[in-house]
């Protein structure tokens, strides 16, 4: 069944309120839902009430408190249809269901994890609890009563404010919660169990005190203090930057260890994958800290962008997700180094979203049809959605963007809104027509902007010729030209920026060039010398740029651009062609030559003490194997890509040996660990240097020493990764891996790192290693984090290991998908997307991949999740 945006229509009945009562039991939980409804104005007088369900057992159905006549309702194909309902009066429907949380391995609806009852309702999990209008445009107030065993469930939580609690018969107790803010069912949450808590308070800008609570497993409380700190900073930031204040007496976060995704923004009761809550220096890396900060902020920011203003239907998912990712990006940029944050975002966008947009799973930020909505929680909706919001900010400038946001909050508070509503706020606030811009929501595919330039000395005129092409994507063959905002600068030979006296051929406002036509020629007058143009500064538009700039010009940008991001990008633009060339040479057996300009510039910047260490570390991280594959585009041989890249790395390592030796040693004086961005940057630079040093020496000694000396997880995992990836069979590596395993055997999140490090050891032997690790007593096929750490990491992040020329990697993945799917379809479907770029492989691998996909497609009783992905992968 395919759902189409064009088919949207409101429900026939209005839900005024709902009272839910849960009598919790591991295998037989009773849920009683009392709904107060009335027929919507204008709805047909005989229209039935049609409610969604999913694998439900209904034990009672009442109308105004009386059992419903059997002929008035039908229950079939997960739909409950009730007829003969009042034409105008309000009435009450009570649905009683019995659910088995213990058997819920999908982790959607109400389930149990480590003895904790917990829920995940977005997108369509609430219908696994009771028959309901399980759609985001049906908002109402909820009262929730929870009854449970007092001993095993001292804690009974739901959305909103706590009303009260008391004993309830033998060994039981109950608690009641009321959420005064109308909400859709996907924001419902219930948590019950025995957990420890970290508590704090936050005083809002209007002076209200909010109780903050983070619930974690007993004993893990000290590891939740960073998340608490991040939460308070998020609350403050949202008041200062977006004027948004929290609106309940209490804000709770619960960390659970079995969770399908990162976290969930349920009103007042966020549920988190514990990976994004728990951290201390001994067990969490700097990247973990940064993720916790970002995700705590993300879920908190949803309180306004998602909860107070929600989505009319799931096609509007980017309305809350793209906007909220934009908001969490801005938050992290303000808390950390903006340039370094932007570099990390762009790396992520290019490595995840660009391949999606270029392959069979490409879809618009605002899709128009779906088969399984869970498959649209994609990097396109999230990250490209955030970029689209960023472009609105770029086009309007900070003041008008803020005015548009304010208008959005004012106009739509309490609404289930659409992307059109959102865009209209910016049009109304700015007076600017955003019709063409809106194509970013509707046209899939990464635009390609081709650029050439010329300089006319006699007339002091500089000309840029730009042309845009939006590539065809599944279901969208022809595209219209987009409105592409390109931030730019014209760098003069002395490193200063030209100030043109005239501009013609395009709208240029401040440092933004608006490309709106298929091709445009822009002339800048009064440019005293041939400038080097730096285009798409800050990655103002998510496009591929083809601009044959001379390496010397790029080096000029890399050394002098006032925008740090542009400097990184220029270096990238020097490095990528070299790496592509190296891969081609490796493929054809030719000698690999490395451009010394690349090495010189790289080493100069890495050694520049005036630059922040985090930036220098980013510069040292050359484009990845998958970046190179993407640049090559088709007929890829991952082995050749790796050989070529390794040769370039070795050359850089040799040229920069003395710098790397000193950097890897630098700041090694023992200072106690702090997770702040500056300290993290110093660790990143030192570990990047250690990697090059190890490559140059080609011996495990330094890395083994670093692993032994490490007093925090960042340094330890960096050293261990280096050992494992470079010297997998060395005794030092085996010893270090075993020490690590023994030391952290009781810590699931750290063991995930142990699995992931080994799953990403490059080369043919990787598959055998992964299969061996699946036999380890530490492997747990029902824990999503563990499955992702081993199977997911192997498929997503080990190009040479996974893409074995004999196809064994794909065959392994196919059997894994078929095995995971019956238990947890969302997890299976997500891991399967690792094959989204299969068409760009060389012919032999492509054939193997095709066969593996066909084998999955032929699987019996495939979930909608997996069959949707596999079919789009085969047909797109």
Known catalytic residues?
299
Residues touching ligand ARG, count (CB under 6 A): 11
Q: Which two tokens stand for residue 530?
A: 């041939």
Which of 3, 631, 576 is closest to 355 using CA atoms? 631
Instruction: Name which of 221 and 321 has its Cβ closer to Zn ion.
Output: 321
CB of 223 to ligand ARG, least distance (A): 21
Instruction: Name which of 235 and 723 has its Cβ closer to ligand ARG.
Output: 235
Are the C-beta atoms of residues 779 and 786 closer than 8 Å to each other?
yes
Q: Does 299 bind ligand ARG (CB under 6 A)?
A: yes
Instruction: Name which of 324 and 702 has its Cβ closer to Zn ion.
Output: 324
Q: If you count DSSP H runs as helices and E runs as strands, how many of each does the chain have, helices first? A: 29, 33
Q: Which of 855-861's residues contact partners 24+ apart within 8 Å by CB, and which partners?
A: 855/811, 855/814, 855/818, 856/814, 856/817, 856/818, 856/832, 859/817, 859/818, 859/821, 861/822
Q: Does 265 bind ligand ARG (CB under 6 A)?
A: yes
Q: Does 217 bind ligand ARG (CB under 6 A)?
A: no
647: left (phi over 0), alpha (psi -120 to 50) or beta: alpha
Instruction: Name which of 255 and 629 has its Cβ closer to ligand ARG.
Output: 255
Which of 374, 618, 707, 816 binds ligand ARG (CB under 6 A)? It is 374
Residue window 521-540: x/- pattern of binding to ligand ARG, with contact defined by CB under 6 A: --------------------
Instruction: Name which of 117 and 126 has its Cβ closer to Zn ion.
Output: 126
Per partner kind, with CB cut-offs from 5 to 8 A, the member of ligand ARG, Zn ion, none near residue 696 is: none
Contacts with ligand ARG in 318-347 (CB under 6 A)? Answer: 321
CB of 307 to ligand ARG, least distance (A): 10
Contacts with ligand ARG in 377-416 (CB under 6 A)? Answer: 377
Instruction: Name which of 390 and 682 has its Cβ closer to Zn ion.
Output: 390
CB of 306 to Zn ion, least distance (A): 7
CB of 126 to ligand ARG, least distance (A): 12
Q: Which two tokens stand for residue 327?
A: 């908001």
Where does this chain touch Zn ion (CB under 5 A) — which range of 319-327, 450-458, 459-467, 823-831?
Answer: 319-327
Where does this chain touch ligand ARG (CB under 6 A) — which range of 260-268, 424-432, 794-802, 836-844?
Answer: 260-268
Per partner kind, with CB cut-offs from 5 to 8 A, the member of ligand ARG, Zn ion, none near residue 374 is: ligand ARG
CB of 852 to ligand ARG, least distance (A): 24
CB of 374 to ligand ARG, least distance (A): 4
Q: Does 263 bind ligand ARG (CB under 6 A)?
A: yes
Enumerate the β-bridge partners of residue 416. 310
Are the C-beta atoms of residues 361 and 872 closer than 8 Å to each other?
yes
283: number of Cβ within 10 Å: 18
CB of 235 to Zn ion, least distance (A): 17
Q: Does 3 bind ligand ARG (CB under 6 A)?
A: no
Instruction: Name which of 321 and 563 has its Cβ closer to Zn ion.
Output: 321
213 contacts: CB under 8 Å, gap ≥ 6 = 197, 198, 199, 250, 251, 252, 253
Are the C-beta atoms of residues 106 and 825 closer than 8 Å to each other?
yes
Q: What 3-state class would DSSP assign to 459?
A: coil
Q: Which of 394-403's residues contact partners 24+ apart within 8 Å by CB, and which partners?
A: 394/485, 394/487, 394/512, 394/540, 395/432, 395/434, 395/437, 395/483, 395/485, 395/512, 395/514, 396/426, 396/429, 396/430, 396/432, 397/510, 400/426, 400/429, 400/430, 400/432, 401/426, 403/429, 403/430
Q: In whole angstroms, how far apart are CA 57 and each of 18, 79, 103, 641?
A: 20, 12, 14, 54
Per partner kind, with CB cut-offs from 5 to 8 A, the member of Zn ion, ligand ARG, none near residue 122 is: ligand ARG
Where does this chain touch Zn ion (CB under 5 A) — which range of 108-116, 141-149, 320-328, 529-537?
Answer: 320-328
Q: What 3-state class would DSSP assign to 618?
A: helix
Where does this chain touch ligand ARG (CB under 6 A) — which range of 259-267, 277-285, 442-450, 768-776?
Answer: 259-267
409 contacts: CB under 8 Å, gap ≥ 6 = 242, 243, 244, 304, 308, 309
Which residue has the closest beta carbon to Zn ion? 321
Enumerate the β-bridge partners of residue 18. 35, 142
Which of 263, 174, 253 is closest to 210 using CA atoms? 253
Instruction: Name which of 265 and 627 has its Cβ closer to ligand ARG.
Output: 265
Cα–Cα dist 518/480, whole Å: 8
In terms of C-beta density within 10 A (0-12 exposed, 13-18 middle, 19 or more buried), how is residue 768 classed? Answer: exposed
Q: Does 264 bind ligand ARG (CB under 6 A)?
A: yes
Residue window 324-343: x/- pattern of binding to Zn ion, with contact defined by CB under 5 A: x-------------------
Per partner kind, with CB cut-offs from 5 to 8 A, the member of ligand ARG, Zn ion, none near residue 264 is: ligand ARG
Q: Which residues bind Zn ion (CB under 5 A)?
A: 321, 324
Binding site for ligand ARG (CB under 6 A): 122-123, 261, 263-265, 298-299, 321, 374, 377
């Amino acid at each position: 069944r395919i759902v189409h945006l064009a088919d949207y229509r409101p429900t026939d009945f209005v839900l005024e309120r709902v009272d839910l009562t849960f009598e919790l039991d591991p295998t037989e939980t009773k849920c009683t839902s009392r709904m107060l409804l009335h027929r919507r104005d204008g709805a047909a007088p005989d229209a039935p009430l049609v409610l969604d369900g999913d694998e439900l057992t209904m034990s009672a159905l009442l109308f105004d408190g009386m059992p419903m006549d059997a002929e008035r309702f039908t229950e079939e194909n997960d739909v409950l249809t009730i007829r003969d309902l009042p034409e105008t009066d309000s009435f009450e429907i009570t649905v009683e269901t019995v659910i088995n949380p213990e058997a819920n391995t999908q982790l959607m609806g109400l389930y149990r994890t480590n003895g904790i009852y917990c829920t995940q309702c977005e997108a369509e999990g609430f219908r696994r609890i009771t028959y309901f209008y399980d759609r985001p445009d049906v908002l109402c107030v909820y009262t929730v009563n929870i009854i449970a065993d007092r001993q095993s469930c001292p804690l009974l939580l739901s959305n909103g404010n706590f009303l009260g609690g008391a004993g309830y018969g033998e060994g039981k107790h109950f608690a009641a919660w009321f959420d005064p803010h109308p909400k859709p069912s996907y924001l419902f949450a219930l948590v019950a169990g025995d957990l420890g808590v970290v508590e704090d308070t936050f005083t809002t800008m209007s002076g209200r005190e909010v109780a903050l609570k983070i619930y974690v497993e007993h004993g893990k409380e000290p590891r939740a203090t960073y998340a608490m700190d991040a939460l308070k900073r998020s609350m403050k930031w949202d008041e200062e930057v977006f004027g948004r204040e929290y609106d309940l007496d209490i804000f709770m976060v619960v960390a659970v260890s079995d969770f399908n995704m990162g976290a969930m923004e349920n009103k007042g009761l966020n549920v988190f994958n514990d990976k994004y809550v728990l951290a201390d220096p001994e067990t969490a890396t700097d990247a973990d800290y940064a993720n916790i900060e970002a995700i705590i902020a993300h879920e908190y920011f949803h309180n306004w962008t998602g909860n107070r203003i929600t989505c009319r239907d799931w096609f509007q998912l980017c309305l809350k997700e793209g906007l909220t990712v934009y908001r969490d990006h801005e938050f992290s940029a303000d808390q950390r180094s903006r340039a370094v944050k932007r570099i990390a975002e762009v790396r992520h966008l290019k490595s995840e979203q660009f391949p999606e947009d270029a392959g069979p799973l490409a879809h618009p930020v605002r899709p128009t049809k779906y088969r399984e909505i869970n498959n649209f929680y994609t990097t396109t909706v999230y990250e490209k959605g955030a970029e689209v919001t960023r472009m609105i900010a770029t086009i309007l400038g900070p003041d008008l963007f803020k005015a548009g946001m304010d208008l959005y909050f004012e106009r739509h508070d309490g609404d289930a809104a659409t992307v059109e509503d959102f865009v209209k706020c910016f049009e109304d606030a700015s007076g600017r027509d955003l019709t063409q811009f809106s194509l970013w929501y509707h046209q899939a595919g990464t635009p390609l902007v081709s650029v050439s330039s010329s300089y006319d000395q006699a007339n002091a005129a500089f000309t840029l010729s730009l042309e845009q092409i939006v590539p065809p994507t599944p279901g969208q063959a022809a595209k219209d030209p987009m409105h592409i905002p390109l931030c730019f600068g014209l760098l003069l030979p002395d490193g200063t920026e030209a100030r043109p006296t005239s501009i013609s051929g395009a709208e240029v406002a401040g440092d933004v060039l608006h490309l709106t036509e298929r091709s445009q020629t822009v002339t800048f007058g009064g440019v005293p010398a041939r400038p080097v143009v730096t285009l798409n500064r800050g990655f103002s538009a998510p496009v591929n740029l083809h601009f044959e700039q001379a390496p010397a010009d790029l080096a000029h940008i890399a050394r002098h651009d006032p925008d740090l991001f542009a400097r990184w990008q220029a270096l990238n633009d020097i490095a990528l062609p070299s790496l592509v060339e190296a891969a081609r040479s490796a493929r054809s057996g030719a000698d690999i030559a490395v451009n010394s300009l690349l090495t010189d510039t790289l080493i100069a910047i890495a050694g520049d003490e005036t630059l922040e260490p985090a930036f220098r570390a980013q510069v040292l991280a050359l484009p990845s194997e998958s970046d190179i594959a993407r640049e090559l585009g088709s007929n890829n041989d991952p082995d050749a890509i790796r050989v070529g890249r390794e040769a370039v790395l070795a050359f850089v390592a040799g040229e920069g040996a003395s710098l790397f030796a000193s950097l890897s040693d630098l700041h090694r004086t023992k200072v106690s660990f702090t997770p702040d961005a500056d300290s993290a940057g110093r660790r990143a630079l030192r570990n990047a240097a250690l990697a090059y040093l190890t490559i140059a020496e080609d011996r495990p000694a330094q890395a083994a020493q670093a692993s032994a000396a490490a007093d925090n997880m960042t340094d330890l995992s960096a050293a261990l990764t280096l050992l494992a990836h470079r010297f997998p069979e060395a005794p030092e590596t085996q010893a270090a891996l075993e020490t690590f395993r023994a030391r952290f055997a009781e810590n699931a999140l750290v063991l995930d790192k142990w699995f992931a490090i080994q799953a990403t050891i490059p080369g043919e032997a990787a598959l055998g290693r992964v299969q061996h690790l699946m036999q380890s007593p530490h492997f747990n096929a029902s824990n999503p984090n563990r499955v992702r750490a081993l199977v997911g990491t192997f498929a997503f992040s080990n190009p040479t290991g996974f893409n074995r020329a004999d196809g064994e990697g794909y065959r392994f993945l196919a059997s894994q998908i078929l095995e995971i799917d019956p238990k947890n379809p969302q997890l299976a479907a997500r891991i399967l997307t690792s094959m989204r770029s299969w068409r760009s492989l060389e012919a032999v691998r492509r054939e193997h991949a095709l066969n593996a996909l066909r084998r999955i497609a032929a699987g019996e009783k495939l979930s909608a999740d997996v069959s949707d992905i596999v079919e789009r992968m085969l047909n797109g």
